[in-house]
Amino acid sequence: MNTLQVELGQRSYPIFIGNNLLGDHRLLEPYINGKQVMVVTNSTVGPLYLDKVMSSLTAYQTATVTLPDGEQYKTLDSMNTVMTALLEQHFNRSCTLIALGGGVVGDICGYAAASYQRGVDFIQIPTTLLSQVDSSVGGKTGVNHTLGKNMIGAFHQPRAVIADTSSLDTLDDRELSAGIAEVIKYGLIRDPDFFSWLEQNMSLLLSRDTDALIYAIERSCQNKADVVAADELEQGQRALLNLGHTFGHAIETGMGYGKWLHGEAVGCGMCMAAEMSQRLGWLDQKSVSSILALIEKANLPSRPPENMTTEQFLSLMSVDKKNINNRLRLVLMKSIGEAIITDDFSHDALLETLNSY
């Protein structure tokens, strides 16, 4: 087992990464303060791993909530289901919530923890690659709205993150590729050596080689931990973690939540950001080609849906948390390994990029 630390002063917490970690009570008990524990999972993950987690919680008063599986259920209604269960079971403010599942479960459970009695503890047990390398780390929690993705939520850090790579054995190939999109992102925004490693080892990740997965998860989490420690509330550089997300969120919202997986939309969004960066004269053609080739090698889409229009993209991108004073801000690339957040770009370059697709 490898251990990383997210350094946030009194809110610091560990990330445990390894194989067959589920069910180990020694990893959970130090981060549970009270006697009440509620595990929030979904209808796909629950039948696979809930019993194993519950077996490590025999010393506590426990309850479970099983949500339907899918991005389309990342809603206030789903969070209200968790809240109702907490109230019905008379959970107090020293309780702990555990998120057992992918990014949707983690975001809903974390937002419920941030809100219940004005804030209770929670622990992340991410079971998808995307949640292990990205959404479980950093304290972003929330739900979607029909008008925009992740527009309702709160910053609320977990007490610990337990990333068990054995849970990836039951992940389907499409979800695995979606997680790899977020892994590629770290190489593009700040870690060019990692990008080169991914070019050389993508086949190992796709074949679920344990050592390759652990290395990719640890390197991704270290990159994210460093960024979060420097800018916890996304006042500046943390927004770099949104490379491809403004384009990608427009795809997810425009197509209807769940039609495209989040990682698929982000992968495509990174291709669009790369092309726009080239149009601005920042990225050379070789770099753009390398990015598109790696995205496609990961079995991710490099082109947006054919039925989305430029006007639809612009409308949906205008509803983005990075925008300030009605000015669209994008994460673009100066080179592989160097990204910037900017609203100082040619609007024509954006239009040309969207029109080209």
Query: What are the pLDDT digits (tens) for 246-305?
Result: 999 999 999 999 999 999 999 999 999 999 999 999 999 999 999 999 999 999 999 999
259 is catalytic: no
Share of the chain above pLDDT 90, in %: 97
Residue 320 has pLDDT above 90, yes or no: no
The fourth-level CATH superfamily of domain 173-356 is Dehydroquinate synthase-like - alpha domain (1.20.1090.10)
Q: What residues are paired with 38 via a beta bridge?
A: 63, 97
* Domain coordinates in residue numbering, the chain: 2-170, 173-356
Indicate which residue of 149, 219, 249, 321 is catalytic. 249
Burial letters 101-129, b for 16+ CB under 10 A, else e? bbbbbbbbbbbbbbbbeeebbbbbbbbbb
Taking alpha carbons only, the member of 187, 249, 173 closest to residue 223 is 187
How confident is residue 219, by pLDDT bands cut at 50, 70 and 90?
A: very high
* Joined tokens for residue 165: 């790579």
Dump the DSSP string for 310-325. Answer: HHHHHHHHTS-TT-BT
Active-site annotation holder among 150, 219, 242, 252? 242
Structural class in CATH, domain 2-170: alpha beta
Name the active-site residue from 149, 159, 185, 262: 262
Question: Could you confirm whether 249 is annotated as catalytic?
Answer: yes
296 carries an active-site annotation: no
Given 156, 185, 245, 321, which residue is catalytic?
245
Q: Is 90 a catalytic residue?
A: no
Nearest-CA neighbor of 65 among 94, 35, 87, 32? 87
pLDDT digits (tens, 9 = 90+) for 73-126: 999 999 999 999 999 999 999 999 999 999 999 999 999 999 999 999 999 999
Catalytic residue among 71, 175, 218, 234: 234
Q: Is 185 a catalytic residue?
A: no
Q: Is 324 helix (H, G, I), strand (E, B) or coil?
A: strand
Catalytic residue among 140, 149, 219, 279: 140
Tell me the C-alpha distance between 24 and 338, whole Å: 39
Residue 144's Cα: distance from chain center in Å? 14
Does 145 participate in catalysis according to the annotation? no
pLDDT mean over 315-340: 92
140 belongs to the catalytic site: yes
What is the rounded distance in angstroms from the CA atom of residue 288 to the CA atom of residue 215? Answer: 25
262 is catalytic: yes
pTM of this structure = 0.95
Q: Mean of the pLDDT values across residues 187-212?
A: 97
Note the pLDDT of residue 323: 85
From the list 71, 175, 182, 218, the catalytic residue is 182
| SS3 label, residue 9 | helix
Return the residue matching tokens 């008990």: 29
Contacts of 264 by beta carbon, 8 Å cutoff, 6+ apart: 174, 177, 178, 181, 300, 301
Give the H/E segment covering residue 294. Answer: helix 285-297
Catalytic residue status for 245: yes
Mean pLDDT of all residues in the chain? 97
